[in-house]
Structure 1
Amino acid sequence: MERGTRLAGKTALVTGGGQGVGRGIALALAAEGAAVVITGRTESKLKDTAERIVERGGRVHTVVGDVGERGDVDRMVAETVREFGSLDVLVNNAQSSVQRRLEETSYDDVELTYRSGPLATFHAMQAALPHLKTSRGSVVNLGSSAAVQGEATFAAYAMAKEAIRGLTRVAAREWGTYGIRVNVVCPAALSPAAEAYFAAHPEKAEHVLAGIPLGRMGDPEADIGRAVAALVSDDMVYLTGATLMLEGGRTLIG
């Protein structure tokens, strides 16, 4: 993909950047000139993404850690600033998922999705705030169309993702005075997790695709990543507190 300059001079931190949508976002941000820090629990996945960024001429740093641990989150932010000198863009992408019917969902299921989702997002936003104030930066949090629509078997996941949307709206109001923008994207992308799920549930894949007006799942980099790159650029400087449904029209109403 041809390199751009919309994010030249900016530094982005992407949690869960080793695979799937997180990888696509990291690649797209780097392609627009941002220095990118990617985090995750699996070093080999981070290394693979980092190699792709370097091959394209980008700058990248990796941090192994678990967003469910506050100390790890603080370290991710600190290493970002130490490595590149600033923090302009925070993308909270990492999230564990559990799928069970509501009556079968346990407290542990809910605790896992909350610790890796809204609590991790909350901790990262708090840790990043002093740096985002300086840069008048941008936060992108990941929501889910499954949560917006209330899809069956997604109880714990939907609770976590809708909590993130609520947190985003509060932050947009409170942090606007600092010039910080905070938005949500809800992607529908063919990530490794989605591919595995659809392979195990072909009838579900057929149903999902039939409900997408554009007729396909999104590409993590070309469709989701490039949209996030545009969102955090100066092209979208007047947008905050919004939810962008990057899912091919799947949640159209009416």
Structure 2
Amino acid sequence: MGKIDGKVVLITGCSTGLGKQQAIRMAEEGANLAICARNMDKLNETKRICEEAGAEVLAMSVDIMDYDSLVAFVDATAERFGRIDVLVNNAHTITIPKPFLDKTIEDLDVEMKSSVYAYWHLMKLCFPHMRDREGAGASIVNFASEAAVMGDSLYAPYAAAKEAVRGLSRVVAREWGQYNIRVNTLCPNGMTENASGGLTSLSEEARAHVQAAFINNPFRRAGSPYEDVAPVTVFLASDDSRWITGQNIHADGGALINA
């Protein structure tokens, strides 16, 4: 018996990286899934793995920066499954890390639209399908970042977008508790193929900075998206987290430790 048996989970950005591994883990824990990404070929691979784990899966090509695309995705999910129990806002388009003076307003636009704007839209679109669920209710997990909490160099647009996500999530958590919906943010540390593959495109300074960030924790290793991060998302999706809302969870191996 899985931790989220029978729950319908809508999760974005599942063709690769954290999103793919979370989708797989959730399928193994009994969820049915609505997954999306821009690259349909890679998304279909995630779909295949999840179906082999026993999940019913809706997979759609979606540009999360396009509102009409988000509407179509949520509508298709509701039509297919009849409800949405969990929303995981995972997808985010990150621009190349550079000093603030080298960043442009276009960089900020991309990161805001693919993060806080998309999360804003999806929460509102999913709300009618999540509200007033009996028992432990529904759950929203919005991905934030330790890089934003700490104000990491080279990540100005990313930090701005991810801190906006945290602020928005706290407000929605306060307002939607009355509808039995909990809202939390998750700051992960997991070395994905996207992160490792993207290192070659960075300057030597930026590459060293990123590599150090992934192992800057008491365990002195990078986290595994499947083994270290995805179980935390499963917990937040499960009924075991029924009394947790408005919180920011660090699944980062202790990279950030405070009172």
TM-score (norm 2): 0.92
Equivalent pairs, count: 251
- Long gaps (5+) in structure 1: none
Match of 2:42 in 1: 45
Tell me the secondary structure at the aligned position of residue 117 of structure 1. helix
Deviations 1:99-139 (A, max 9, x none): 22111111100001011000000000000001110433110
Match of 2:64 in 1: 67
Match of 1:6 in 2: 3
CA distance in 2, matches of 1:234, 1:51: 27
Is the 2:191–2:214 contact (alpha carbons within 8 Å) kept by the matching residues of 1? no
Report 1:1-254 matches (<5 A): 4-98=1-95, 99-135=97-133, 136-198=137-199, 203-204=208-209, 207-253=212-258
Is the 2:190–2:252 contact (alpha carbons within 8 Å) kept by the matching residues of 1? yes
Is the 2:147–2:159 contact (alpha carbons within 8 Å) kept by the matching residues of 1? yes
| Letter of the 2:7 counterpart | K
CA distance in 1, matches of 2:37, 2:245: 27
CA distance in 2, matches of 1:173, 1:164: 14
- Long gaps (5+) in structure 2: none
What percentage of aligned pairs have identical amino acids?
34
Is the 2:188–2:250 contact (alpha carbons within 8 Å) kept by the matching residues of 1? yes
Give the direction of change, closer, same or farther, for the CA distance of 1:185–1:47 in structure 2 (3 Å limit).
Answer: same
Deviations 1:43-72 (A, max 9, x none): 011101011111222221101110101111
Is the 1:87–1:131 contact (alpha carbons within 8 Å) kept by the matching residues of 2? yes
How far apart are residue 206 of structure 1 and its match?
A: 5.3
Q: CA RMSD in A?
A: 1.6
Deviations 1:176-202 (A, max 9, x none): 000100000000101122212445656
Is the 1:198–1:204 contact (alpha carbons within 8 Å) kept by the matching residues of 2? no
| Letter of the 2:105 counterpart | Y
CA distance in 1, matches of 2:198, 2:13: 19
Which runs of 4 or more aligned residues in structure 1 lie more than 6 Å from their structure 2 counterparts after TM superposition?
none
Deviations 1:209-236 (A, max 9, x none): 5521122212112211111111111111
CA distance in 2, matches of 1:52, 1:115: 30
TM-score (norm 1): 0.94
Tell me the secondary structure at the aligned position of residue 251 of structure 1. coil
How far apart are residue 169 of structure 1 and its match?
A: 0.1
